[in-house]
Chains A and B, each alone.
Chain A
Amino acid sequence: MKKIQILGTGCPKCKLLFANAEAAVKSAGIEAQIEKVEKIVDIMKFGVMSTPALVVDGVIKSAGRVLSPEDIRKLLA
């Protein structure tokens, strides 16, 4: 099972990325746990400067962009 984390302080873009990640997981038909990381100090621990950021199994995949569900699916494959 994959672990997906969405880093962001709760702005509209972060919510959009979360929704896109959910859609991607659903359409890919894989098992994954999606988690929001909203505390700024926790976000900093990942070493990301721009939010929203997408982390898969502890590895940063993108920062500062809202990926489309298709983009996220490719990252999960």
Chain B
Amino acid sequence: MKREFHVLLGLFAAFFGLYFLPVGHARFDGAVLEALHLAKWYAREHVLLCLLPAFFIAGAIGVFVRQNAVMKYFGPKAPKWLSYSVASVSGTILAVCSCTVLPLFGGIYFRGAGLGPAIAFLYSGPAINVLAIVLTARVLGFPLGLARAVGAIAFSVVIGLLMHLIFLKEERAKAAQPQEIFLGADDRPDRPLWQVALYFFSMVGILVFANWARPQETTGLWFAIFKAKWIVTALFAALLGFCLWRFFKVKLAYIVMAAVPAAVLAFALPQYPVATFAAGSAGLAALTFFGGAELKDWRNQSWGFAKQILPLLFMGVLAAGFFLGSPDSVDAGIVPNLWIQALVGDSPQALLSVLGHPNAVAPGWLTFLWPLWTNLFASVTGALMYFATLTEVPILRGLLDSGMGQGPALALLLAGPALSLPSMLVINSILGPKKTLTFVALVVVMATISGMIFGIIVR
């Protein structure tokens, strides 16, 4: 009976939604178009060259990086400085999937190195996983990508240490009775480190050089690299082929066959390197069917990430386009740019015009407090809001294009992915309300401060 009632409610909602659908209003129609424009822009600019290799790399991390090797630094007996440093950076290779972060966090807290390193890992993990860094740097620009990675790593240690000091007494009591953790037997065949390193090096090379941006000047080293980027990318692809042949025992004939379509396209359509890149990726995917168990694992993991992340990202992009417009348009999203500028813009002028004083000069105290307010607002919103994996990137792109300042953007990036209302509830069930609130407050304060500093640096 209850179920039927829910269906009825759903139908009612759909009916009223359609009945009052604002089709025909210029702003609404424009926003719908913007959503499609933005989706097209992403499909053209960011999927093939950036996301596709990133999925392959994330999948390879899942197969070849031994969690256990990293985990021993989180044990109760590991030196503390080591636990902190490993916790702050290991998100790059451990936290590819958001669902691995919370169990790891709980494990480190209850059984391992304790509250500080657990918090450090929880904070930096979502922000510095390989997909997040790559997409942030590509879509939001290199400075913001770098600031995000560096900020997340540095502040994770600071926040972890502060949490440890604030709750020092409890931590001491807990450390007196260490518990054993189960790391799991690892019976996978050992592969020499240099082989894995070379294999990752070739893939990262492909990712970096395929995405090499055109520099402003037309001379010098960066431009020379830009001009030769497809040749360099092809060399890295050849290196990857070599790795598959020598280390993974794929037959050389298969590798050559997989490379043929890409090579043909490279010479037939040199003006569309993307076509070559797509053919090469398809060839690589096909090759994973002709290797051993590791290649099968690799394919499954990469495919798993693609399946999990692409639909979310697609919806995130559509929403960002609808609400905020696309990069080529001016103020075409459903949310007026003025509102965004009035809340998180570079200067308080927009706020004054919203309040009805477009020509007024902002008083000194307002100008002085403005960065504090915008960054605080961005941090708190980011901390409460839930961003599905990676959707923070298109949404921020939209906000930046609508006039959000760089500082508040960083504040949102630092507070956003680490926290959300749902994740706070889970953290609360592990840590209890006192520690959770302290953690949230520290994150908001840190994100605000780093946003203010970044705002001053880039200006």
Contact = CB atoms under 8 A, between A and B. Distances in A.
Contacts of B327: none
Given A9-B102, A63-B183, A49 B307 contact: no
Interface string B195-228: 0000000000000000000000000000000000
A28 interface: no
A50 B104 contact: yes
Contact of A60 (B179, B184, B429, B430): B184
A29 interface: no
Interface in A1-51: 8-14, 39-41, 43-44, 46-51
A49 B113 CA distance: 12
Interface in B160-191: 179-185
Given A41-B429, A50-B67, A10 B99 contact: yes
B335 interface: no
B304 interface: yes
B8 interface: no
A50 B184 contact: yes
B239 interface: no
Contacts of A39: 429
A50 B103 contact: yes
B304 A49 contact: no
A49 B97 contact: no
B106 A40 contact: yes
Contacts of A60: 182, 184
Contact of B104 (A8, A10, A11, A49): A49
Nearest to B62: A13
Contact of B308 (A10, A12, A63): A12
Highest count of chain B CB atoms <10 Å: which of A14, A41, A46, A50: A50
A41 B430 CA distance: 6
B74 interface: yes
A36 B194 CA distance: 39
Nearest to B429: A41
B307 A40 contact: no
Nearest to A66: B300
Interface residues of B, number: 30
Contacts of B103: 8-9, 40, 43-44, 48-51
B69 to A, nearest CB: 12
B425 to A, nearest CB: 10
B184 A62 contact: yes
B430 A40 contact: yes
B266 to A, nearest CB: 36
Contacts of A40: 102-103, 106, 426, 429-430
B99 A49 contact: no
Nearest to B97: A11
A45 to B, nearest CB: 9
Interface in A46-69: 46-51, 53, 60, 62-65
Contacts of B106: 40-41, 43-44
A49 B430 contact: no
B110 interface: yes
Interface in B101-126: 102-104, 106-108, 110-112
Contact of A48 (B99, B107, B304, B426): B107
B399 interface: no
Nearest to A62: B184
Contacts of A53: 184
Which 7 residue pairs are nearest across A and B when measured between Cβ atoms? A11-B99, A49-B107, A63-B184, A44-B106, A51-B103, A60-B182, A47-B182
23 contacts: A8-B99, A10-B99, A41-B106, A41-B429, A41-B430, A43-B103, A44-B111, A47-B107, A48-B103, A48-B181, A49-B71, A49-B74, A49-B103, A49-B104, A49-B107, A50-B104, A50-B107, A50-B184, A51-B99, A51-B103, A60-B182, A63-B183, A64-B68
